[in-house]
Chains A and B, each alone.
Chain A
């Protein structure tokens, strides 16, 4: 399988601060990056899809101004949670994808965000 890293693995922050999560695809070039989140006892839910060098597409109910996604290179995407609030506390996980591997999606290990 592919090697995907995420940093940090967990973060605790105060309400109102911003948090940046990095996702790196270490052994293949990801033309697309999916960002998911999982609230306790719920399914992984797709938040947004970003293609390298272009703006992200957000799923219904996900605020694009709150969750800023940058996919500047084929191996790095970042998700910034701006002005985080306790309701943003969740598990965030990235999934790089490329048309060269259409049938399999790989995932990072995830980031646990807790907003106090």
Chain B
């Protein structure tokens, strides 16, 4: 079992504010780091797959960075909107199996 930790467990953000949260993972035998957005009663939605140290990826107002040497990734949400409320999961893989963090639950207050 690979130790993947996400912090914080939950956060509340005011609409329009920006926020970020972290995922830490083992720095050895790295293959890929995945970010998912998961809303209740829906399938987790793939946001990013990151494989290279220093990678930065962006999808609309959401972006992510990757540091494989120190074993962490940040997810940023710029100008949070109520529809951004969800649980954000990160998952580490050193082959095709994923080891998940427990998630960061984001609640955006209007």
Contacts and interface: CB of A to CB of B under 8 A. Distances in A.
Nearest to B9: A41
Given A4-B43, A43-B99, A108-B43, 4 more contacts: A41-B102, A46-B99, A93-B44, A106-B46
Given A4-B43, A44-B89, A103 B49 contact: yes
17 contacts: A1-B45, A1-B46, A34-B98, A36-B100, A42-B102, A43-B4, A43-B100, A43-B101, A43-B102, A43-B103, A46-B99, A95-B98, A104-B46, A105-B96, A107-B43, A109-B41, A109-B43
Q: Which residue among B41, B44, B89, B100 has the maximum number of chain A CB atoms within 10 Å of its CB?
A: B44
Query: How many B residues touch the partner, as a band?
Result: 20 to 34
Interface residues of A, number: 25
B46 A34 contact: no
Contacts of B89: 44
Q: Which residue among A43, A46, A93, A109 has the maximum number of chain B CB atoms within 10 Å of its CB?
A: A43
Interface string A92-107: 0101010000111111
Contact of B98 (A32, A42, A105, A109): A105
